[in-house]
Amino acid sequence: MLQHYFKVALRNLTRNKVFSFINILGLAVGMGVCLLIYQYIHFELSFDDFHENGEGTYRIVQSYTQYGNDEGSDVETTYLTGPVAKNEIPEIADFVRVHSQYGVTVIANTETGVPFEEEEILYTDSNFLEMFNFPLKSGNPSSVFKDKYSIVISERTAIKHFGNEDPIGKVLNVNGGWAIADFSVTGVLAELPGNSHLQFDVLMPMSILLEDEQYTGDGGEDWTNFVTYVKLTDFSDRIAVEKKIAQSITTLRSEPLISGNYEVEVSLQPLDEIHLGSSEIGDPITKNVGDLDNIKTYSIIAIFILLVAWVNYINLSSARSMQRATEVGIRKSIGAFRRQVISQFLVEAALTNGLSMILGFGIAYMLLPFLNELMGLSLILDVATQYQFWIIVALTLIIGTVLSGAYPAFILSSFNAVGMFMRGPVKRKGFSLRKGLVVFQFVTSILLIAGTYLIYNQVSHMKNAENNMDMDQVLVVRGPRVGIDWDQMQPKLETFYNKLKSHHSILKTTGSGSIPGKGFDWRTGIHRVGQSEEEAESTSIVFVDHYFTDTYQLELLAGSPFLEEGSFRSGVLINEAALNAYDIKSADDAIEEKLVLNGDTLKILGVVKNYPWASLKEKHEPFILGLYGSAMTYFSLRINPANIQKTLAHVEQVYRQIFPGNPYSYFFLDESFNRQYQADLRFGNLFAAFSGLAIFIACLGLFALVSFSATLRMKEIGIRKVLVAGIGHLMGLLSKEYMILLLIANVVSVPITYYIGSSWLDNYAFRTELSIEFFLIPGIILLAISLLTVSYQTFATAKANPVDALRSE
């Protein structure tokens, strides 16, 4: 019997080629897209699962409260946290500390002397490659850091410095940060897995870092610059260990915690939760922090795309019920039971879904390069060993068969055999399920279009919002790292600036410890003289020279810019947000007020308008610009864009002349700053791509429904044409039903889009508004797409010769 069902199902598929093609193509596209979304979600959820001993490994996260106020959470501990906790807490089997290299370090092959900038540098304990299973191409994980002047580099770094030579035993000169010495290469890392929250090119021994006077001097144990991982023994009570670590930290740092009235709580973050669990935590080392909300969004999109594809099948199958009525009537008249009729239709649905799944695999492979390009990934469809994947495939086929086949099967099998021969199945008037499903498709399409529009509008709003800082035509050059004589740096900088400005295209120059979009130099608690320490506000500080406000064209609300002969202690500039933080009524009242920073008193020279130092996703925070004459991590040059190549050549020539032996690199500030929105743009691009495919599937179904409706009404249309009905009238007659359904969908979608849009925008401090076009444009776009879809078939039907339709009458 099953063989018979399949034979009939194949005949039906081949007899109705157009509708079979539309059904299979729609389902295949939907399943292919879902395969891609699954692969992306699987990648996001697989972070750090390649570590063989990852289970039981945790990262210490500290949460602070001060005077009862939540001060946030971060992962930065002192260098003593790990060793003290291991000695005091028996449940801790081992620990590893990681410290990132701030800024850029210059590393050169001692044989060639060619310098390269290296940014991805980590200082680690000697057991780092034993706790974490990062693959070594050369070297022994247990011995690569036996010598404090050892260095482990990535394969691409090895090629950069040594070409095709064996790098083991070669010497690299490191200049910058805490290490200025020659290091011997003891290990070469294979390419790091893309699903690792730690991404680095160079590993250096922690022992060399801890010899720096910053940590050997008084108060060195209070610097919280280290990320600490712990390995718990089997069957350890995690909550109990968290309390013990918190107590250990409280005892270890009792003086600064008590003086600042801080209380600390500790949580242990599992290794495999770091990627998706770090967005709300201060984290200096995690690369490409994941977003759990985005994963939920993609999952919902996948479900809706599949539902839209299945709805197509249900609609077309139920619409074709009149044509299948005679077939079902014959089956029932010769003794077929209802369950056998149902089985026939379910087998047809299973066959259609199965063929669609096979084609969906091909579509997924074809679209995968586009997904990788959109997301900046290198995913592969390697699903052979993913048992979860095959479970999902099986469930998709079962659910798809039941959902898409059950309704037409039960409807057709319920018809009376005699009634089918006499008049066919009874047509239901009013708002049928088929119409409801069409409305569902329209609503889904409107929501996806609205979401795409909102994402792009929000990103554009952040990029183009008035930011009170002119970033256009600002060229940024990285400062020198090699051969720095601090006593001679100030006159050297002045010579550098003067030589740069001798070129007619370079208008202004300045140096700073950081620039917009690149973080800050320091963050600490500051309060106004007259306030208590408990009122200290966490404040970011960036060191600049006295040309900074002029070069960046910052608008002063009150006061004056820096004096040329000034220093950090002679006065600072604050932003508007700091006025509220320090309880100062106005910009004018701030002048000559004094701030307290670690016991030092700083005079406020001026107040600048709020400007974005970071992404406009975040609100403006208290900020201080402090004068530091040798601030030169970055040089910012305001230039005339005319003849940019000659300008760049002049800058490079002057830089190499003044700072020989330093690698030269540059970028444009506006491009660098806008990279902060790259994740939002990628999300928008992927959302738009998936939305387009969902709308394509919906339009396939709409086209098929209109075609089928037109076929059923051919005789009616023929009679109307004989009675001199115009083409426009006939097109309106055929498309009116679907336009009414589209109008209903627009009305239904308004409150849904408003709720979802408002909730999503709550994640942004500087947000666009949900204006009237947000609700109108998606409906208009879908109307245009639907009209194009409907018009082709309705026009062809209206143009048909009425004689062909009426010949049999």
The pLDDT of residue 571 is 86
**pLDDT score of 808 more than 60:** no
Query: Please, what sign has the CA dihedral across residues 667, 671, 676, 679?
Result: negative
Tell me what the mean pLDDT of segment 451-472 comes to.
78
**pLDDT score of 167 more than 50:** yes
* Closest to 314 in 3D by CA, of 343, 345, 339, 344: 345
pLDDT in tens, 172-227: 998 877 778 899 999 999 989 888 999 999 999 999 989 888 888 777 788 888 99
Tell me what the mean pLDDT of segment 97-101 comes to.
91
**pLDDT score of 336 more than 70:** no
Q: Which residue has the higher pLDDT, 440 or 713?
A: 440
Residue 42, both tokens: 């699987």
Tell me what the mean pLDDT of segment 340-366 comes to.
83
The mean pLDDT value of the chain amounts to 82
Residue 332, both tokens: 């029932």
Gyration radius of the chain's alpha carbons = 34
Q: How many CA atoms lie within 13 A of 611 on its CB side?
A: 24
Tell me what the mean pLDDT of segment 429-444 comes to.
74
d(CA 75, CA 97): 11
**pLDDT score of 232 more than 90:** yes
The pLDDT of residue 182 is 92
The pLDDT of residue 62 is 92
Percent of the chain with pLDDT over 70: 85
623-627 vs 537-544, strand pairing mode? parallel
Tell me what the mean pLDDT of segment 220-235 comes to.
88
The pLDDT of residue 429 is 45
Residue 130, both tokens: 């034993």
| Least confidently predicted of 80-89, 208-217, 241-250, 712-721 | 712-721
Tell me what the mean pLDDT of segment 448-453 comes to.
88
The pLDDT of residue 330 is 65
Confidence of residue 737 (pLDDT cuts 50, 70, 90): confident
The pLDDT of residue 431 is 44
d(CA 578, CA 586): 11
**pLDDT score of 82 more than 90:** yes
The pLDDT of residue 643 is 82
| Least confidently predicted of 11-20, 379-388, 447-456, 720-729 | 720-729
d(CA 574, CA 625): 6
* Side chain identity at residue 378, one-letter code: S
With left for phi above 0 and alpha for psi between -120 and 50, is residue 660 left, alpha or beta? Answer: beta
Residue 137, both tokens: 């191409």
The pLDDT of residue 168 is 94
**pLDDT score of 563 more than 60:** yes
The pLDDT of residue 792 is 65
Confidence of residue 338 (pLDDT cuts 50, 70, 90): low
Tell me what the mean pLDDT of segment 560-584 comes to.
84
* Closest to 103 in 3D by CA, of 687, 385, 513, 416: 513
User: Can you tell me whether residue 601 is helix, strand or coil?
Assistant: strand
The pLDDT of residue 162 is 92
The pLDDT of residue 307 is 86
pLDDT in tens, 739-774: 888 888 889 999 999 999 898 888 888 888 888 888
- CA distances to 169, 357, 784 from 702, in Å: 68, 22, 13
The pLDDT of residue 127 is 93
**Beta-strand (E) ranges in 342-486?**
474-478
The number of residues making up the chain comes to: 809
**Cβ-based burial of 796 (10 A; exposed 0-12, middle 13-18, buried ≥19):** exposed
Q: Which residue has the higher pLDDT, 478 or 8?
A: 478
The pLDDT of residue 91 is 93
Percent of the chain with pLDDT over 90: 20
DSSP state for residue 390 in the 8-state scheme: H
Q: How far is CA 703 from the centre of its chain?
A: 35
Contact by Cβ (8 Å): 60, 266: yes
**pLDDT score of 427 more than 60:** no
pLDDT in tens, 31-54: 888 888 888 888 899 899 999 888
The pLDDT of residue 54 is 86
DSSP string computed for 79-138: TTHHHHHHHH-TTEEEEEEEEEPPS-EEEEETTT--EEEE--EEEE-TTHHHHS-PPEEE
**pLDDT score of 724 more than 70:** no
**pLDDT score of 383 more than 80:** no
The pLDDT of residue 158 is 93
d(CA 647, CA 473): 12
d(CA 573, CA 571): 7
| Least confidently predicted of 392-396, 610-614, 658-662, 788-792 | 788-792
Residue 276, both tokens: 């998706």
The pLDDT of residue 344 is 74
Confidence of residue 720 (pLDDT cuts 50, 70, 90): low
**pLDDT score of 349 more than 70:** yes
The pLDDT of residue 92 is 94
Dihedral Cα 169, 173, 179, 180, nearest 10 deg = 140
The pLDDT of residue 725 is 64
pLDDT in tens, 131-150: 999 989 998 888 899 888 99
Cα–Cα–Cα angle for 548, 550, 555, nearest 5°?
105
Confidence of residue 335 (pLDDT cuts 50, 70, 90): low
**pLDDT score of 430 more than 50:** no
Tell me what the mean pLDDT of segment 323-336 comes to.
64
**pLDDT score of 55 more than 80:** yes
Residues 11-16: contacts with CB within 8 Å, 24+ apart? Answer: 12/348, 13/348, 13/351, 13/352, 16/320
Dihedral Cα 315, 317, 318, 322, nearest 10 deg = 140
pLDDT in tens, 256-304: 887 777 788 999 999 999 998 887 787 778 877 888 888 888 888 888 8
- For the ranges 56-60, 251-255, 497-501, 551-555, the maximum mean pLDDT occurs at 56-60
**pLDDT score of 343 more than 90:** no
**pLDDT score of 317 more than 80:** no
The pLDDT of residue 203 is 94
The pLDDT of residue 57 is 94
Q: How far is CA 160 from the centre of its chain?
A: 30
DSSP state for residue 625 in the 8-state scheme: E
Residue 278: φ, ψ to 5°: -115, 0
Q: Which residue has the higher pLDDT, 308 or 789?
A: 308
The pLDDT of residue 187 is 94
User: Can you tell me whether residue 547 is helix, strand or coil?
Assistant: coil
**pLDDT score of 626 more than 80:** yes
Q: Which residue has the higher pLDDT, 257 or 422?
A: 257
Element at 506 (helix H, strand E) = strand 506-512
Residue 272: φ, ψ to 5°: -80, 0
- With a CB cutoff of 8 Å and minimum separation 6, the contacts of 504 are 640
